[in-house]
Chain A
Amino acid sequence: MAREVMDQDRPSRLTALALAFLALIWVSPFFWLMTNAIDPAATGQLEVPQSIGIDNFVQALSGSAGRQFVNSMLIAAGTATLTVVVAISAAYPLSRMRIPGRNAFLWALVLLRMLPATGVIVPMYFAAQAAGLLNMMGIVLALTILNLPFTLLLLKNFFDTVPIELEEAAYVEGASLWTILIKIVLPLSKAGIAVVWFFSFTGAWNEFLLPLIFSRTEAGFPMSIGLYSAFGRQGSIDYGFLAAFSIIYAAPAVGVYFLLRRNMNTGFAGVGVKG
């Protein structure tokens, strides 16, 4: 009996083969992407590159493609930073002051945000048009507004976990409200702020529809739109360029992942020291 169990536990050749096959299927798109990106004469076939070079990457970072990278960075970093700043300034008082119905208010905002953003894109477009904001600033503002309900709720809950006594202790020692926020509350909410910043960043980086509608000129397109338009360039598709462009487009997400991991590991430690 025991022996049968052991036999079952032993990996069989068949499962190894099946797993290898699955892995191959899983990896092949990434392999395709890499080989085409480093092959200056890429044809879009899954094959070993004839020659190797960085021409595709250079192309993907220069000219209008380079400008799209800068645009994406500006939109993503701008949205993330604006979201964090506005959310902190609103969530801290919401956490500390006894405002009647504050939770109902926050959840109502979240409920509104549960509706697809596409549903409000037409009124938002007209509002932005009236305010003269059909540009990158308009995109950043619109994305920030869409981000706020969730980030407010998240940050308020984070601030709730910072014991009020820490603030009282700092106040007795002579700290102003501003000092308390900068030196006590924000360092202790680092993990929450990091989450909000990184999620806002990736969200804005990936956003497609809003920039497409708000950007009136090609010079204002971010990478997400650039990738879309690269499919039909001059009637034929430059696969090498497209692959390199995709890798650059995906890179910040990977970077954000590692930054987030580092911040999450250090951020939670030490909150709420008690006896």
Chain B
Amino acid sequence: MSDVTLKNVRKSYGALEVIHGIDLDIRSGEFVVFVGPSGCGKSTLLRMIAGLEAISGGDIGIGGRVVNNVPSPQRGIAMVFQSYALYPHMSVYENMAFGLRLSKAPQAEIDRRVNEAARILQIESYLSRMPKQLSGGQRQRVAIGRAIVRDPKVFLFDEPLSNLDAALRAQTRVEIAKLHETLDATMIYVTHDQVEAMTLADKIVVLNAGVIEQVGTPLELYRSPANTFVAEFIGGNKMNLLPVKGSASGVALPNGRTVPFAGSDLSHAVTLGVRPEHLERVGADSAQISGAVEVIEQLGEFAIVHFRTREGDEMTIKLGGAPDIALHEDIHVALDPAVGHVFDDAGRALRAPAG
């Protein structure tokens, strides 16, 4: 039993409330990612679960036990810090053994567990080195190893990859996914990077300004974002949002053309969202939206083309390969109603694409 439950959890600093009542159930063995822009409260929430921050209201439960007043070491958690927080004056072995030594574990037990963790993370060959002799990626492994050694019920990761370069980040991401598979432990992972959230999570919790915007699997969030915030935050390329006028049968684009949506009343619709990868480039005669190209981001495998519509809205479209298009050229796009997201004036989703 290593599920984590948050019930109406609040945090205030004086009169300033930064976490406004979070309810969340994390099942045993689940990999949950807290994602959101900086300052959204995701790290604070993690630190409250860790016991590094006091909670101002509500209940936190770990393994079926309310831990509000349980000190951190007795919560059965291990935390991996953004800066790794390796003890600079201790060898890799001693860094990993520190917690076990504090709990007065016998030396044979310490040896066994440190070597086991080192084997899993493939850091056996530098157990005797000092942290400053290691590269960023190696330090990261030691920090994770220090968590594994303690055999916790819940692993907490606070932006563990943000100090690594892009290539190493991608590689370590895969390793953390494998690690979750191997250890089968509950993991809570904080990041501001939606790619990490999408690739690692069983369940993503999108946070914004101290409230949960949406909870769901990566695909649920991608396909059916509950609001414009999630719609823009999740997905490799930012979703296009266009101001529209809703009616009973569909929405009217800024240029007057109507996109029909059958079967839903969209009279309160004010925003139409469509992902760049779901727009289709068409000829001038079948265009629903036309504009002029402003920037082309050529990535080889695909290109992101930024254009400004005749009505002045900025939009992006993702085109496969190396598209035959130049700066300032006209571009015409069409959108299938099947891929459109519709939002009301509060940003709430009225309709999401089926499937």
B57 part of interface (Cβ distance < 8 Å): no
* Complex Cα–Cα for A163 and B131 (A): 15
Stretch from A35-43, A135-143, A169-177, A235-243 that touches the partner? A169-177
B14-64 interface (Cβ within 8 A of A): 50-52
Given known contacts A273-B131, A275-B164, A173 and B102 CB-to-CB distance under 8 angstroms: yes
Q: What bracket does the count of chain B residues touching chain A fall in?
A: 20 to 34
Contact (Cβ within 8 A) B88 A275: no
Given known contacts A165-B81, A171-B52, A172-B78, A273 and B86 CB-to-CB distance under 8 angstroms: yes
Contact (Cβ within 8 A) B163 A171: no
* Complex Cα–Cα for A183 and B89 (A): 9
A62-119 interface (Cβ within 8 A of B): none
Give the number of residues in A that approach B within 8 Å (Cβ atoms): 23
* Complex Cα–Cα for A174 and B150 (A): 11
B309 part of interface (Cβ distance < 8 Å): no
Contact (Cβ within 8 A) A163 B83: yes
Contact (Cβ within 8 A) A172 B77: yes
Which residue, of B103, B132, B140, has the highest number of chain A Cβ atoms within 10 A? B132
List, in ascending order, chain B residues with CB within 8 A of A271's CB: 88
A53 part of interface (Cβ distance < 8 Å): no
A123 part of interface (Cβ distance < 8 Å): no
Contact (Cβ within 8 A) B150 A273: no
B136 part of interface (Cβ distance < 8 Å): yes
* Complex Cα–Cα for A179 and B103 (A): 12
B99 part of interface (Cβ distance < 8 Å): yes
List, in ascending order, chain B residues with CB within 8 A of A187's CB: 89
| Residue on B nearest A171 in the bound complex, by CB | B72
**Separation in Å of the A224 CB from the closest CB of chain B?**
38
**Separation in Å of the B55 CB from the closest CB of chain A?**
16
* Complex Cα–Cα for A175 and B146 (A): 14
Contact (Cβ within 8 A) B87 A166: yes
A272 part of interface (Cβ distance < 8 Å): yes
B263 part of interface (Cβ distance < 8 Å): no
* Complex Cα–Cα for A168 and B79 (A): 9
Pick from B72, B78, B99, B132: contact of A270, CB under 8 Å: B132
Given known contacts A171-B52, A187-B89, A273 and B139 CB-to-CB distance under 8 angstroms: yes
List, in ascending order, chain A residues with CB within 8 A of B146's CB: 169, 173
A60 part of interface (Cβ distance < 8 Å): no
Contact (Cβ within 8 A) A165 B85: yes
**Separation in Å of the A175 CB from the closest CB of chain B?**
6
Contact (Cβ within 8 A) B73 A173: yes
Pick from A166, A270, A274, A275: contact of B130, CB under 8 Å: A270
* Complex Cα–Cα for A183 and B101 (A): 12
Contact (Cβ within 8 A) B84 A168: no
B98 part of interface (Cβ distance < 8 Å): yes
**Separation in Å of the B15 CB from the closest CB of chain A?**
17
Contact (Cβ within 8 A) B103 A174: yes
**Separation in Å of the A266 CB from the closest CB of chain B?**
10
Pick from B82, B84, B87, B163: contact of A184, CB under 8 Å: B87
Contact (Cβ within 8 A) B98 A170: yes
Pick from A174, A188, A274: contact of B102, CB under 8 Å: A174
Contact digits for B131-148, partner A, Cβ 8 Å, 1 yes 0 no: 110001001100000100
**Separation in Å of the A182 CB from the closest CB of chain B?**
12
Which residue, of B86, B103, B139, B140, has the highest number of chain A Cβ atoms within 10 A? B86
Contact (Cβ within 8 A) B89 A188: yes
List, in ascending order, chain A residues with CB within 8 A of B140's CB: 275
* Complex Cα–Cα for A168 and B146 (A): 14
Contact (Cβ within 8 A) A179 B81: no
Pick from A165, A169, A270: contact of B131, CB under 8 Å: A270
* Complex Cα–Cα for A149 and B106 (A): 45
* Complex Cα–Cα for A174 and B98 (A): 9
A269 part of interface (Cβ distance < 8 Å): yes
Residues of A within 8 A of B (CB): 163, 165-166, 168-175, 179, 183-184, 187-188, 269-275
| 21 CB-based A-B contacts, threshold 8 Å | A163-B85, A165-B82, A165-B83, A165-B85, A166-B87, A169-B85, A171-B73, A172-B78, A172-B79, A174-B102, A174-B103, A187-B89, A269-B132, A270-B130, A270-B132, A273-B132, A273-B139, A275-B83, A275-B84, A275-B139, A275-B163
Given A173-B78, A173-B102, A269-B132: 19 more A-B contacts, CB < 8 Å: A165-B83, A166-B87, A168-B79, A169-B81, A169-B146, A172-B72, A172-B73, A173-B146, A174-B73, A174-B99, A175-B102, A183-B98, A187-B89, A188-B88, A188-B89, A269-B88, A275-B84, A275-B139, A275-B163
